[in-house]
Structure 1
């Protein structure tokens, strides 16, 4: 059974290894799972992954890969060799890209990396889908289509906003993992996330994992903030239908 603390993924959205290290030390045993995104990975590279794994932490490598199938597959293979636990590729890369990437998502110990498809970024809305991409479809319907495509390609789950979790679970099954970014505690500015929710709301809606960055990382007391969010997660789990 999953340790409830694993459901909180703290986004290390900081520019240097030193800053990431400081946050991890501050949070101690309260946080098990960390997200390493483009900014930190560009700055620190595999060093930060090695550091986290040596501490017994889980790593979500969020690079949102989107390229030709072979390039993405080879990149997934290299990242998997670092023993990351979870990583992302874009569903817009298409079925073939996702399928070949999934086949390369294996750790050295023989365990599979949780490979997730990014659907529509939480910073985007219906107007972007219609006006910029020229897609004449409801935003939720488009996300459900992308989630189904990801499942057909063999992916373990998707990244989507809390608003779509229930529908994705109904369509793709309860075992299909949904990771939700754009999580903001009550009273916290949603900032650049157009589709956000509180930690408790996201868990009640069925999210398997929630990603929280600035509300913890930029807090005056990161450990206190993390503990409060963990409590919200526990409350949300107790109120699930």
Structure 2
């Protein structure tokens, strides 16, 4: 009998949710429940029981889990509950994000059975890794999912060491933010979606750069396609990040 499985994710651009769904499908866990941390701006926490399974997926920002995601996950509690940790990044590097997520889950009462880092389209510069996950990524994800499902069935927790440093690197910041243009109808979709309330309700074309975490949720949710990046800093950043992401990163997993 399949366990009760819940996908826990923060997926502003949709890639993390997609990879989580593919993983559960490959593992034979179709119909898993979903706990979308982006949609729950006033999240009050969740508790998991020993016989359940949590598949937890987070994006990578500057080699770390976003601070807002870490804060929300601290209120997700396990009780010896099996968990899978996954991070999704835009083909540069995941650095300390995966081990940070694994540490957070372990500290909250979960027992890890697998951890993996997977590549998806870059959220800020979407021409980078735009076809990822590709077929090779899916083969690796399938192998990871099948191994995790078998380990949970046999009660064999994670044994491998996870890549990363426990003196986590510092959080970074981006000196620009998306904003609205003349196509904006002030419908409020971006205002309601922004997880850090960086978009003023009375001026939805604007973005508070001090609050914005560049998750791109506002761009994805806009029905008019009215929010985007632009400007000199964005273009200069693109030159740098495209060079850093020029190779082909292969997904990695640990069981």
Q: TM-score range by the shorter chain?
A: 0.3 to 0.5
> What's the TM-score once normalised by structure 2's chain length?
0.31
> What's the TM-score once normalised by structure 1's chain length?
0.33
Between Structure 1 and Structure 2, the one with more helix by share is: 1
Larger radius of gyration: 2
